[in-house]
Amino acid sequence: MKHDSGKLYCFSPPVMLATFVIEICLAIYTFWRYKPSLVRRLGMFILIALGVFQATEYMICGGLGFNHMAWARFGYVSITLLPALGIHMLAVLSGKKSSFLVTAAYATCLAFVGYYALNTAAISGNTCTANYAVFYSPSTAGKLFGIYYYGWLMTGVYLAWKWGAEMPKKRKQLYSMMLGYLVFLVPTTAFNLIDPTTMRGIPSIMCGFAVLLAFVLVAKVLPASCKVSQTSQEVVDKLQLRI
């Protein structure tokens, strides 16, 4: 950073910190704006998990009494939650009783959460670079985690498309979720194809682009799925009267 002071990279620490602030602010806005519901809670959990990962990246070189390995493990735990939360949200938005699907998603999620949270050898090291954080994980575990992650994300894209086509009244929410998945999956894939060496930092890069998912979630999915709280509506009405 001293060598390249003044340059703002796509995944540099200032961007990580800014992304963390944006995602946490969106979670707070969601809490304030909408009435309590399962969709609101799931949306908040997704936003908070995204924000926590950005915070761990910012602190990846150590700080606040935790070393770099602890921060790396915190980061992996937070992003491990995202695929299962997404499948759960899709099931709730569609109104389908997909208990087996949701249970399977959470079961695999908890297995990896336990692995990264309890196993000190789960992550063998990390590199703090100017562009993104690079994590190293045992090859077998890393491959299984990749299957888990991409498997559930692609399942989410398929289910959003399939259920949206079958349910016109739910189509807007479901297709918005599909858009949310694609706006960070497609850029990440393109990034890796252009420069294959970036595969080393795929968790960092993917969650960097996932801020786009956060915006889609707050701008498209939640407004179409949640009832506005009375307090927030009163504030909006007062502002409109003043204008």
Write out the chain's pLDDT in tens, 243 residues: 344 443 434 456 677 778 888 889 999 999 999 888 999 999 999 999 988 888 877 776 556 656 666 677 777 788 889 899 999 999 999 887 777 889 999 999 999 888 877 776 666 555 555 444 445 555 677 778 778 888 898 999 999 999 989 988 888 889 998 998 888 777 766 666 665 555 555 555 565 667 788 888 898 888 888 787 766 565 555 555 555
Classify residue 2: in a domain, yes or no: no
How is residue 81 written in tokens?
């939650």
CB-CB contact of 204 with 15 (8 Å): no
Is 169 part of any domain? Answer: yes
DSSP H/E element including 26: helix 13-33
How large is the C-alpha radius of gyration of the chain? 19
> Is position 206 within any domain?
yes
What DSSP character marks residue 243? -
Alpha carbon 55 to its chain's center: 13
> For residue 242, is it within any domain?
no
Alpha carbon distance 123, 139 (integer Å):
10
Tell me if 4 is assigned to some domain.
no
How many Å apart are CA 4 and CA 105, to the nearest integer? 42
237, part of any domain: no
Distances (CA, A) of 190 to 1, 22, 137: 26, 24, 23
Structural domain boundaries enclosing 156: 13-232
Q: State the amino acid at position 66 in one-letter form.
A: F
Report the predicted TM-score, pTM, of the whole model to 2 decimal places: 0.81
What is the DSSP-derived secondary structure letter of residue 228?
B
Alpha-carbon span 53 to 72, nearest angstrom: 9
- One-letter amino acid at 171 equals R
What residues contact 35, with CB distance under 8 A and at least 6 apart? 226, 227, 228, 229, 230
* Sequence-distant contacts of 41-45: CB under 8 A, at least 24 apart: 42/85, 42/88, 42/89, 42/92, 43/89, 43/217, 43/218, 43/221, 43/222, 43/226, 45/81, 45/85
* 37 belongs to a structural domain: yes
CA proximity to 153, closest of 200, 108, 113, 100: 108
pLDDT tens per residue, range 141-197? 777 877 888 889 899 999 999 998 998 888 888 999 899 888 877 776 666 666 555
Domain of residue 40, CATH code: 1.20.1070
Total number of domains constituting the chain: 1
Specify if 5 maps to a domain.
Answer: no
Give residue 79's pLDDT.
84
